Each structure stands twice: as C-alpha cells, then as structure tokens.
Structure 1
C-alpha cells in the first residue's frame, strides 16, 4: 500500500510492479501517514489514470473516487496478474517498499514461469529429431535398458516416438532444449558454455597445471569426463592380489558420476 499526495506518471511503474508481484493499492491525495489531504483534480484523474494504465500496460485497475468530508481522493487497486506485465517495454516488480526492474536471467525465468515452462523446456523450432546424434541416442538406450529404466521394447521404437515418450517434444511437436542438450552433437551452437572443463591445480588456486575440455552431447560428456578423470587426474592406491593389480581410488566411480550429474543438473536449473 502506498500513500501519495498527488499523481505522477512515474507511479505507472509501481502499478506494473504490483501487477507482477502480489497486487497492491495506491491512494492519491493522502500524506505519508495515510491522512487524507485531498486533491483538486480528482475527477480528471479518475478518467485519465485508467486510460494511461490500459494504454501503457494493457491491463485494467480499479480507480475509485473516495471522500472524506469535503476532500476528494483516489484509490487505485491493482490485482496480481498471471502473465508478466510490461510498462513501455520494461518489466518491474514491487515488493514491500522496493520497486525494481526485472532484467537478464531473472526476466527470462519469470517469463518462462508465467508460460508454465522451465528453461530446459523451451521449444526449439529449428531443431529436428534427425539433427540429433545417433551415437548419443544409442548410448541412452543401452544405459536405460542396462539399469532397468526402460525395456528393450520401449527403446526399440523410432527416435521421434522415443523423444515424445521421454517428454522431450512439446505440444506443438517441437523438440525442447533438454533434448538438444542431451543428444545434439554440438549443444554449444544453441547454449554457449554447455561443455565440461576439468582442471588440475597445484599448490594454489592460481597454479593450473593442466586442463581438458569435454564437448558434445551431455549424455556423452558425462562418460567421457568420468573416464578422463579416472585415467588422467585421479590417483589411486595400488595393491596386488597375487598377480592381479588392484586400484583403489579416493571416490568410487558411481559416487563421482552422481556428483558430476548433480553439478550438471544444478547448472541447468540455475538458468
């Protein structure tokens, strides 16, 4: 709730912020404590303000003329809107006494949220099932059957049917971003930085001894990264049982794989 002695067009930003947050009320013709001081042009503003709100934001707010004795003042009631509202091409959010512009990744997340989508659920109209890497799809099939997630019959279908069964195709028939990340041969074409970088450091954080980058579909990146870490980066304790060499690493491969997968998922969810 806000109390203002007179109307200024800048308050349209606040109305936009209320619509994008939880709604709110502005009183025009009151002091900072909510005491009515009245305004002389209440009836003129009663017509102008609703028009300004509709013209600049495409929404409707209730603008009411109130009285206290002989004093006239206005009440503007703004409802929360399910879709994100813009004011002259910009998006605002009002929380408590703070009003700020929504930009960057926060704006993208807010837009997707109002559409009922997540970042990885955005459709990619220019991507088709035939563009996906067959080796990556086959790797998924082999792993899914081996781990009992899917049966041989369930993976022995056309790629388009498999993608649809995995909910990687939206209601309009487009592959979504998650399909691209998992199976496209070069996901960096669509999302910059969608690769894994490994670094081996010496005695300090600035002492980078050597590094590697793992590119390609994410489902392949995971296996390649695990193999690379355990063959090049991770040291093992060596023991022997007769002539058999036994290697014991600091982390079991399955545990490291879980850590790596969690890191990838958290990175994706941060967009």
Structure 2
C-alpha cells in the first residue's frame, strides 16, 4: 500500500498490535481533534507488514474503543486488507464525520496530532477546537480587565439609533430594562468573578481602545512595488480602532494605493479599473468578521502587489467549511456577535452569499481569473488578481 510506504506522518500511524486500549484511543482522539487520519494495525513502526492473527477480534476491539473509550464516540471507517499475504486492519477517522470537538479519551486526555506523534492539547487549543465545532463563540467571552469605562456610549448610541430607530434612553424607558440587561442581551457585556466586563465583540465594535486589550485586532496593510514581499514597499500602515473604523481605513488605504493606468483616446483619457471595489471590500469585511480573535499573536494582513491583492486571515476555516465549499457560499459563524453587529451596521449581508456573489463572480468578470483560496498553517489566504496590463 502506497500510504504505508510513505511512513508515519501527521495523518498516518502504525501499530504492531493492540496492547493498551487507552493508548489506541489516544491515537484515534488525536486524529479526530485534528484533520483526521489513518491508523494501521499489523504494521511495524518502520512500515514493515507484521500482520495480525485474528482480524475479526481486532476489528471489534477498535469499534469498541471508538464507542466506549473516546468521548464523545468517534465514528470511524474500519476495513480489513491483505498485504504481503498478511492481514492488517485499517481504521480511518474522517474530519467530515467527526465534528463534535474536542474529543477526549476515557482516561481524560485531550490529544491532537503534531507531526508523527500525538500531544496533549493546550487550553488555548481546546478553546479553538470548541470554536471550530460551533460549541463556543470566543467573541462572546469576557475581556479580562475591561469595564464600562472602556465602552463608548456615543458609538453605541449611533448603532442603537440605526438598529432600533430610537435613542438608548427611549429604549430603556419603553422596555423597562436596565442598561446592563440591554448590553447583556446584545452579548456586549459579560461577567467573570463577579465583575462586569466587555465581551470581545463589545470591545471590538464599541470599545474606546480595542487594541489596548486585543492588539491582534489591528490590520497590517502593505503596498509593494512588485509581485512579491521582497520588492520595495510603497506604503505601509497599521490600521487600528473599532472594527467599523478599521474597515473604512482599509478601504482608504486600498483606494490610495491602487494606481489605475489609463488609455489616451485623442483628447480623452480612459481609466482602467484594476479591481472591483465591492470584491475587495467584501474580502476585507469577511476577514474581519470571521478571523480567529483568540490567536493573540496574529493580525489580519493586507498585501497589495503589482499584480494581485491578498488578505491573510488568522485561524483557518471554521467547522464544516472547506476550501471547496467556501466557493459555493458555505459559511459558519465563528464570531456570532461580531457578524450580527456588522450586519446591523450595513457592512455585511444576512444572506451569506458574499464570497460567490461578490468576491468570485465580480473578480472573475473584471480580471478573467478566479480568486484563489489557500490554507497556509493557521492562516486563510485569499488572492484576487488584478486586470492584466
């Protein structure tokens, strides 16, 4: 089998036989908490086929381990093969069938797959797994150290008038609820250890200084003279502030640095559009709305090259979204409160078809080239090509 010849790696693990069910459960859990993988029983660590004597017993033992020693139970594919006149059993963990992360063993261990081995997941990795499974919305959790003094009432008043067509005071008077209750209902205020704190969404949309507490919420924008990052830098800016202001400042940065060429027709000049502005705007807003804000060391990066625009968003793809179905409009809300607020403010559509309708279709119509999506490590990259010059 070609996979065995390739040796053990992030998605392939070899076991001579089942000795310790808890250890086998750990391998299965590690695959389930990562991107899936394949466990071979009857294969030495070096890839030599050892075979097994009773494949039926091994088959049943693996099924029992997945059901009884993996919590929640893992749904595997278990198959029997014959190689070099010896029987082996192959257990496959598919990411698509196992989305109830995080998984743990009956012994209480949460594992992930790192290279050729399984490792205990850190607390932050557990949070991110729960996020990807839709079990936890990080943007609704409290930001330690914040309070109402960090909340901009003027920004909230502007939003409130737009959303409810009345002042905050009128709303509170009519509903009979307190300001604290209103903010809690909107997932903008939380409580930890008896103290009121702004949620991540509350700070990002209405905070006085969001980057003081969440420096990763800024955008690094760079315009290059050439086609790669080694070329001269024409413009660079760290874009900070509340998310609505970041969106507007990113738009200004792109307008300033997209230098449209022109064709002279006698006394007339015809400017050539290099990009569809709606497409670029949707790309920026999507990155801001759906990035993983729990990644404290990573900000969104916008790169403008001579032949393309790139937005690099920390956190990869959430839940059931893949590089294939994202192009069809498949989406999962990693940041539920942020998405709702940006939708109310008019930056997003509630329909959820921005990628196929605005990014892909409009870019393709103008440049004749398909936008490209790519996962590099923990970063989702979107590449939009300019019109050829």
* TM-score grouping bracket, smaller chain normalisation: 0.5 to 0.7
The question of 1:80 aligning with 2:71 is answered: yes
- C-alpha distance in 2 between matches for 1:18 and 1:127: 40
Match of 2:248 in 1: 223
Match of 1:263 in 2: 287
Q: Secondary structure at the match of 1:268?
A: coil
User: Where do residues 69-218 of structure 1 align in structure 2 (5 Å cutoff)?
Assistant: 77-81=68-72, 84-85=103-104, 91-93=110-112, 100-101=118-119, 103=121, 106-112=125-131, 116-141=135-160, 145=162, 150-153=163-166, 155-156=168-169, 157=171, 160-169=180-189, 174-205=197-228, 206-218=231-243
- C-alpha distance in 2 between matches for 1:115 and 1:199: 33
Match of 1:48 in 2: none
The 3 A distance-change label for structure 1 pair 107 and 6 is closer
Which runs of 5 or more residues in structure 2 are unaligned?
A: 1-13, 34-40, 42-49, 56-60, 73-99, 173-178, 263-270, 294-313, 316-389
Contact between 1:181 and 1:187, CA under 8 Å: does it hold in 2?
Answer: yes
The structure with more radius of gyration: 1
The 3 A distance-change label for structure 1 pair 114 and 251 is closer
User: Where do residues 225-244 of structure 1 align in structure 2 (5 Å cutoff)?
Assistant: 225-230=250-255, 232-235=256-259
Which runs of 5 or more residues in structure 1 are unaligned?
A: 37-63, 65-74, 239-246
Q: Deviations over 1:172-198 (max 9, x none)?
A: 765322222222233333334321122
Q: 1:35 aligns with which of 45, 54, 58?
A: 54
Contact between 1:222 and 1:260, CA under 8 Å: does it hold in 2?
Answer: yes
Match of 1:12 in 2: 22
Q: Deviations over 1:221-255 (max 9, x none)?
A: 1122223433x3244689xxxxxxxx996556555
Q: Secondary structure at the match of 2:110?
A: strand
- C-alpha distance in 2 between matches for 1:116 and 1:137: 28
Structure 1 range deviating more: 126-135 or 153-162: 153-162
- C-alpha distance in 2 between matches for 1:103 and 1:6: 24
Deviation at 1:201, TM superposition (A): 1.4
Structure 1 range deviating more: 99-108 or 125-134: 99-108
TM-score when scaled to structure 2? 0.41
The 3 A distance-change label for structure 1 pair 260 and 138 is farther
RMSD of aligned alpha carbons: 4.5
